[in-house]
């Protein structure tokens, strides 16, 4: 396997997840001469470790671009760190709402992602796609996937380079959320990004990572 792209199942108040769509669309594609495998991870504290180990089967990928949804985000957000902390803002898809739990007991406080994050940002801006570097991926499953990837790569002493991109909502998701009758007042600003733009973003990130890892 050359490149692994992971997305997540839908969760919370939406039945769609752009990271799943992108992973599905890119599965089987070739980008910059590299074969891409797309996989979808469960939004589940209990299951995510095994799921990640499974997609890392022999041979392990050279490059991992993990994806997730960041609601409220307006740009492609390039994560630099995953921390050893699960502290959920909302329950996962098993209904579990974890508070202040280490992801890997006695693990280091964090792992840094190893893709060329700044070069990816510059390539995205060059491609007309808003992007920013970020120092926190939160403490939900997205962060857990980063930390577990870092832990797995270190324990297996792999040379795999890995990174994580947080994606905004798709416009259709926001429209569906706004159309739902709520007791409570609606948020004023809910940014989104078209799936087409996000697909181009991930392709650009993979190509940039491929170019730098040769």
Active site members: 79, 142, 166
- Interface with a second copy includes 179 (CB under 8 A)? yes
CB atoms within 10 A of CB 72: 10
Q: Which stretch binds a second copy (CB under 8 A): 18-26, 51-59, 155-163, 175-183?
A: 175-183
- Interface with a second copy includes 25 (CB under 8 A)? no
Minimum CB–partner distance for residue 148 and a second copy (Å): 15
Is residue 103 helix, strand or coil?
Answer: coil
Is residue 39 helix, strand or coil?
Answer: strand
Residue length, the chain?
214
Tokens representing 137? 């991926």
- Interface with a second copy includes 197 (CB under 8 A)? yes
Q: Toward a second copy, which CB reaches closer, 51 or 130? A: 130
> Among residues 62, 52, 9, which one has the least CA distance to residue 31?
62
Q: Which of 9, 191, 199, 213 binds a second copy (CB under 8 A)?
A: 191
Total number of residues binding a second copy (CB under 8 A)?
A: 55
Q: Which of 33, 105, 189, 214 binds a second copy (CB under 8 A)?
A: 189
| x-marked contacts with a second copy along 78-107 as a string, rule CB under 8 A | --xx-xxx-x-xx---------x-------
Q: How far is CA 136 from CA 8, 33, 83, 144, 174, in A?
A: 18, 31, 8, 12, 23
From CA 148, how far away is CA 48, in angstroms rounded? 9
- Interface with a second copy includes 212 (CB under 8 A)? no
Backbone angles phi, psi at 29, to 5 degrees: -70, 160
Structural contact between residues 182 and 13, judged by C-beta atoms closer than 8 angstroms = no
Q: Toward a second copy, which CB reaches closer, 34 or 150? A: 150
Task: Name the site residues for a second copy (rule: CB under 8 A).
Answer: 72-75, 80-81, 83-85, 87, 89-90, 100, 108-112, 118, 122, 124-136, 138-139, 171-172, 174-176, 178-179, 183-186, 188-194, 196-197
């Amino acid at each position: 396997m050359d490149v692994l792209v992971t997305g997540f199942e839908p969760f919370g108040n939406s039945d769609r997840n752009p990271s799943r769509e992108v992973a599905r669309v890119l599965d089987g594609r070739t980008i910059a001469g590299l074969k891409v495998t797309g996989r979808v991870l469960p939004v589940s504290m209990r299951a995510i470790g095994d799921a990640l180990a499974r997609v890392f089967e022999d041979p392990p990928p050279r490059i991992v671009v993990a994806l997730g949804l960041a609601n409220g985000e307006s740009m492609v957000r390039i994560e630099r760190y995953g921390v050893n902390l699960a502290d959920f803002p909302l329950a996962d898809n098993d209904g579990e709402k974890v508070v202040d739990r280490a992801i890997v007991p006695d693990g280091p406080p964090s792992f840094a992602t190893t893709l060329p994050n700044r070069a990816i940002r510059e390539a995205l801006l060059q491609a007309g796609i808003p992007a920013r570097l970020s120092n926190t991926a939160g403490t939900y499953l997205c962060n857990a996937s980063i930390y577990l990837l870092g832990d797995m790569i270190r324990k297996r002493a792999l040379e795999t380079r890995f990174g994580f991109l947080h994606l905004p909502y798709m416009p259709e998701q926001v429209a569906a959320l706004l159309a739902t009758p709520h007791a409570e007042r609606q948020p004023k600003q809910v940014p989104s990004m078209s799936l087409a733009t996000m697909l181009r973003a991930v392709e650009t990130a993979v190509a940039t990572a491929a170019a730098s890892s040769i």
